[in-house]
Amino acid sequence: MIKIHVDMDKCQHYGQCVFEAPTVFALNEDDKLEYHATADDSELENVERAIDVCPMQAIAFAK
């Protein structure tokens, strides 16, 4: 299991992460980011890509 953290103070809800890891990240009806704080190990590469494409660098692996 991987743990994910999004700094919501940095996040500007661009949604680039949604394209890379749609089972982990989503934009709600108000276009605000929602995410699962944990994901299966099979999502590791998708989450890594989401981290890389985030323009605000708001996504990280949680410890």
pLDDT per position in the chain (63 positions), as tens? 999 999 999 999 999 999 999 999 999 999 999 999 999 999 999 999 999 999 999 999 998
Phi-psi region of 57 (alpha: psi -120 to 50; beta: other; left: phi over 0): left
- Count of structural domains within the chain: 1
Find the CATH number of the domain harbouring 16. 3.30.70.20
| Residue 63, pLDDT score | 82
Containing structural domain, residue 25: 2-61
Helix (H, G, I), strand (E, B) or coil at 63: coil
Question: The pTM is what?
Answer: 0.94
